[in-house]
Homo-oligomer: A and B are copies of this chain.
């Protein structure tokens, strides 16, 4: 398998982490999104939406969207429950991640690391900060009585939410106030074959 990815991306990291934990070898093809390499004609042929990561499952078969890739890879493995309701709950948390968490926690981090923040962007950033904290608060409440997001074991819901939560501090989020989230981050980090975000 080939993974088109950018090493600073939490969305790409999700896929690298799961591939590694599943023991699936893959070729990493770096796409420099800061230089517009995900918007070239060649790349748009792989993903019309111009975003990494994209998994090339076999020659010419491209699957975009990090959480759809996680689901594809995890089917039939311990990383995705077999029970129908638990599978839906995994998806519930992955949609929460893409709708309520990533556009705020990850986008603020990206802007602070890679872009100029003018007065106008600052206004949007502060709105995103409020929404990012709200998402972290939802996680905190859910985890206050649980070890993992679904079924009391490590699944792709945890991988999806770990990716940008563990680096939220790089976007100026103060994680210290989220005790249950911190304990969960540590549980995720202690899983076998765990790798860091910039590891391939």
Chain A residues with CB under 8 Å of chain B are: 48-49, 57, 61, 63-69, 71-72, 75, 84-85, 87-89, 91-92, 94-96, 98-100, 102-103, 120, 123-124, 138, 141-142
Contacts and interface: CB of A to CB of B under 8 A. Distances in A.
Given A68-B91, A75-B84, 7 more contacts: A48-B138, A48-B141, A48-B142, A63-B88, A65-B99, A71-B88, A91-B91
Contacts of A88: 63, 68-69, 71-72
A12 B85 CA distance: 19
A68 B95 contact: yes
A84 B98 contact: no
Nearest to A66: B95
26 contacts: A48-B141, A48-B142, A49-B100, A57-B85, A61-B85, A63-B85, A63-B89, A63-B92, A64-B96, A65-B91, A65-B96, A66-B95, A67-B91, A68-B88, A68-B91, A68-B94, A69-B88, A71-B88, A71-B91, A72-B88, A72-B91, A75-B84, A75-B87, A95-B95, A98-B98, A120-B123
**Binding site secondary structure of chain A:** helix
Which 7 A/B pairs are nearest by Cβ-Cβ distance?
A: A72-B88, A68-B91, A68-B92, A65-B95, A65-B92, A48-B138, A98-B99
